[in-house]
């Protein structure tokens, strides 16, 4: 298995947090992470040495897809690396039109987080699940451990229902998803809000063929199910 295999990522069932009185909007959250699925025990991003790290492709994308039209009121995205440190955190309030898909950037930048040889070690994060590579120079062999800035994510969306008739939906079905890119695939961010945010009618946000998109029930742990919300009404 490699990082191009959809089974190397796991997206949770989206979680209905509840109604936010301050924003007058409903709050949904989804989690996702890369699985240690390569060689049975290691993460699937490429092993790096100093100076060779970088994006695997363009930015990856966390997603929430709604069964009917909604308007977005706030987004928040958080990325974390293997040892749990936050590498990226953004939030934005807005008032969008009618859409059914929201997405936000996940940083797939790889970097060397730990190095070790007979003279000592340097770095802050080292786990057995990390990809690693050994290089020998002037008789000294150094092992490098590679981390990923977006190994995990938490994506929060606040929304208001926008039914074509009436004020309420008896329920909404919501999927959590993830798009991983490599090669020449490109991201597109929504006009007026820009990076790292996007929304669309239908699944959008990434163009090109070097990518995959999975949902909570089609990823490396397909036993997860979509979210069914309670009754939600426009405020």
User: Six-digit token pair at 25?
Assistant: 């909007």
Nearest to 29 by CA among 102, 107, 109: 102
**For 161-219, what is each residue's pLDDT tens digit?**
999 999 999 999 999 999 998 877 677 788 678 889 998 887 766 777 788 999 999 99
pLDDT of residue 142: 95
* DSSP state letters, the chain: --TTSGGGEEEPPPEEEEEETTTTEEEEEEEEEE---BTTTB--SPP--TT--EESSS-EEEEEEEEEEEEEEEEEEEEE-TTS-EEEEEEEE----SEEEEEEEE--EEEEEEEEETTEEEES---TTS-EEEEEETTEEEEEEEEETTSEEEEEEEEEE--SSSSEES--EEEEEEEEE-TT-EE---TTT-TTEEEESSS-SEESSSEEEEETTTSSSTT---EE---EE--
pLDDT of residue 78: 98
**For 68-123, what is each residue's pLDDT tens digit?**
999 999 999 999 999 999 999 999 999 998 999 999 999 999 999 999 998 899 99
**For 18-66, what is each residue's pLDDT tens digit?**
999 999 999 999 999 999 988 778 999 988 888 776 778 788 999 999 9
pLDDT of residue 194: 86
pLDDT of residue 191: 66
- Of the chain, the percentage scoring pLDDT greater than 90 comes to 74
**Alpha-carbon span 161 to 169, nearest angstrom:** 7
pLDDT of residue 26: 98
Mean pLDDT of 134-161: 95
Whether the CB-CB separation of 115 and 123 falls below 8 Å is answered with yes
**Alpha-carbon span 232 to 188, nearest angstrom:** 30
pLDDT of residue 211: 87
More confident of the two residues 235 and 78: 78
């Amino acid at each position: 298995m490699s990082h191009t295999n959809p089974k190397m990522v796991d997206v949770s069932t989206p979680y209905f947090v509840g109604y936010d009185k301050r924003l007058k909007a409903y709050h949904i959250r989804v989690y996702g992470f890369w699985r240690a699925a390569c060689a049975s025990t290691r993460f699937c991003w490429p092993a790096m040495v100093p100076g060779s790290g970088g994006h695997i492709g363009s930015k990856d994308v966390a997603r929430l897809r709604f069964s009917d039209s909604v308007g977005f009121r706030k987004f928040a995205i958080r990325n974390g690396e293997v040892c749990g440190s936050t590498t990226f955190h953004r939030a934005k309030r807005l008032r969008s039109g009618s859409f059914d898909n929201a997405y936000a950037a996940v940083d797939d930048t790889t970097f060397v987080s730990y190095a070790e040889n007979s003279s000592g070690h340097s770095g802050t994060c080292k786990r057995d699940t990390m990809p690693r590579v050994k290089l020998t120079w002037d008789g000294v062999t150094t092992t490098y451990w590679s981390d990923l800035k977006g190994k995990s994510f938490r994506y929060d969306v606040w929304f208001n229902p926008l039914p074509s008739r009436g004020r309420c939906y008896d329920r909404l079905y919501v999927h959590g998803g993830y798009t991983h890119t490599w090669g020449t695939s490109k991201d597109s961010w929504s006009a007026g809000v820009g990076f790292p945010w996007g929304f669309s009618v239908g699944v959008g946000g990434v163009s090109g063929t070097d990518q995959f998109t999975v949902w909570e029930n089609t990823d490396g742990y397909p036993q997860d199910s979509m979210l069914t919300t309670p009754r939600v009404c426009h405020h």
